[in-house]
Amino acid sequence: MADGIEQALRQAVSATRGHFRYESGHHGDLWLDLDSLFLDAARMRGWAAALAGQAAGLGAEIVCGPLTGGAFLAQFVAAELGLGFIHAERHVADGAVQYRIPAPLAATLAGRRVLVVDDAINAGSAVNLTLAELRRHGAVLAGIACLLTLGEAAGRVAAAEGVALLALAALERGMWRPEDCPLCAAGTLLATPPMIAP
């Protein structure tokens, strides 16, 4: 079953190799178009059920996901677990990215155990910023779950938080700080990610 889910996820995601700048500022050699994962809602519901099955023993009371893909998946997972759902919205202020939970939803968080769900965790910036926002409102992290991990960042975030990391599949990619990027050193120009090409 797990092998079948991992294979289906790998087939569903649209991946492009090249030289890209991620939201975290890191450079990497793999870009994923995650929107294709959500085309088949019934299939997504099945993946959410698989994640919910893994998360059932974590004692979560609320499921939170960063918009957009993480929140879509988080809502499915919350429904499977019979839990409340909230989302974190991406904002950019003075060039700095933040994730904010709308005030009416944030008011419900103090002391509550929250499962953070994202579609994919690459450098971990969306998850880390969502975690910071949850802490700001007094939430307690129950665990981190995603469909896909890329590299080791998701595991490091979960270990630093002392919680379980649940994932259905893993993909390998290179990721470097800009000053350490071998693609830059080789003179390879940064590419425009396919999904945001003009």
CATH classification of the domain holding 142: 3.40.50.2020
126: its two tokens: 């969306």
Q: Which residues 6+ apart lie within 8 Å of 100 measured at CB?
A: 88, 89, 91, 133
Q: Determine, yes or no, domain membership for 71.
A: yes
- Separation between Cα atoms, residue 129 and residue 178, nearest integer Å: 21
Non-local (6+) Cβ contacts of 180 within 8 A are none
Whether residue 169 is contained in a domain is answered as yes
pLDDT in tens, the chain (198 residues): 567 888 888 888 878 889 999 888 889 898 888 888 888 999 999 999 999 999 999 999 999 999 988 999 999 999 999 999 999 999 988 888 899 999 999 999 999 999 999 999 988 889 999 999 999 999 999 999 999 998 888 999 999 999 999 999 988 888 899 999 999 999 999 998 775 443
pTM over 0.85: yes
> Tell me, what's the pLDDT at 114?
98
With respect to residue 193, please indicate whether it lies within any of the assigned structural domains.
no
Strand partners of residue 93 = 96
Give the chain's domain count.
1
Q: How far is CA 149 from CA 9, 63, 165, in A?
A: 11, 19, 10
195 within some domain: no
CA 103 → CA 116, 135, 182, distances in Å? 18, 14, 43
Q: Which domain holds residue 123?
A: 2-184
